[in-house]
Amino acid sequence: MVIMGLVVLILFAAPGFVERALLQDLILILMLIGLAQCWNLLAGYAGLISVGQQAFVGVGAYGMFYVVIMMGADPLLSVLISAVFVALLSIPVGLVVFRLQGAYFAVVTWVVAEVFRLIAAIWPALGGGTGTALPRSATSEMIGLDFAAELFGVRSAAAREIVIYWGALAVVAMIVIVAYFMLRSRLGLALSAIKDGEIAAESVGIDINGTKFLVYVFAAFGAGLIGALYFLQQARVSPDAAFSVIDWTAYVIFIVVIGGLGTIEGPIIGAIVFVLLRSWFSSFGPWYLMFLGLLAIVMMLFAPKGLWGMFSSATNIRLFPTRKRLERDDRE
């Protein structure tokens, strides 16, 4: 945790010594780490394969726009309000999707996301199918804007990106810390038991659905935060962008598979690798997407534990050890 604290402090000060283009890449990496951690909690620990996390990303984005435009709230405050709304919304949604299991669960999560996308497309108050943009006054008077501008001596546009970067850093740190302590708690022990065998876990009194439901709601809250922050940076939202299954689910699954499913470190490594690959090969068009798919298949066949899993097995290094081990004392 000390190492993580030092890393966070360095990243907090990064706007003072990195170029603006690199800062934008860091914002993207942080947001992808946050989404990947949430999906990893679902699939890697709770055994819930969701292909509809874009539902909560999109609702988080539209919720933020609604609070800013209709209620005149500060954008950063609106991000938090929207994420809380997403978490509350995930409760009735979860009551529906949890009635199904396995492949049916995955399909119904995607259907729910499509329903939300269609609702956004016919919502005239926020632009309907073409979407809408944030008013300039909202982004120019955001909390922390003057502080960032004075601290780094930059103009308002650059200061806005710095504030959003700090917001993304805070969100990702929160998600990682909560995930770590969650997995180290009794809830984590329950998830480990469920992962090893649901029948055996239920036989010792573990509430399987209740445990999974808590993870589902937290993952929705995290996705709502990331969605609101991302589209705050873009200052414009549309149904196709906010509810994109490729951007917010397919890429995230790729990140977790490459980095390592069922580890906290894996999504961090996977997000960095994904952004690097995208910057190097995106000019190849469709071939770039085919390369990502081929790489994911190769990793699943020959390195199912992902990049971090291979490294951890070879070195026995774990930055976020989530399982408690009983040490044997040979002197007795």
Q: With 90 as the cut, is the pLDDT of residue 238 above it?
A: yes
Reduced to 3 states (helix: H, G, I; strand: E, B; else coil), residue 81 is helix
Separation of alpha carbons 46 and 244, rounded Å: 24
- Report the Cα 90 to chain-centroid distance in Å: 15
Burial 233-251 (b: 16+ CB within 10 A, else e): beeebbbebbbbbebbbbb
pLDDT score of 328: 55
Q: What is the pTM of this model?
A: 0.93
Confidence of residue 331 (pLDDT cuts 50, 70, 90): low
316: tokens are: 């026995």
Quick check: 222 and 37 in contact, CB under 8 A? yes
**Average confidence (pLDDT) over 108-113:** 95
Cβ neighbours of residue 290 under 8 Å, at least 6 residues apart?
none
pLDDT score of 324: 59
Reduced to 3 states (helix: H, G, I; strand: E, B; else coil), residue 328 is coil
pLDDT score of 327: 52
Q: With 80 as the cut, is the pLDDT of residue 322 above it?
A: no
pLDDT score of 223: 96
**Average confidence (pLDDT) over 243-271:** 93
297: tokens are: 């298949």
Separation of alpha carbons 245 and 142, rounded Å: 30
Q: For the chain, what is the mean pLDDT?
A: 89
pLDDT score of 323: 65
- Other residues' Cβ atoms within 10 Å of the Cβ of residue 56: 35
Separation of alpha carbons 78 and 68, rounded Å: 6
Which element (helix H / strand E) includes 251? helix 251-259
| Alpha helices (H) in 122-155, listed in sequence order | 136-140, 145-152
Quick check: 58 and 120 in contact, CB under 8 A? yes
Strand partners, 132: 237
What confidence tens digit (pLDDT) does each residue in 184-232 have? 888 888 888 887 778 888 887 888 889 999 999 999 999 999 999 999 9
What confidence tens digit (pLDDT) does each residue in 63-106 have? 999 999 999 899 999 999 999 999 999 999 999 999 988 889 99
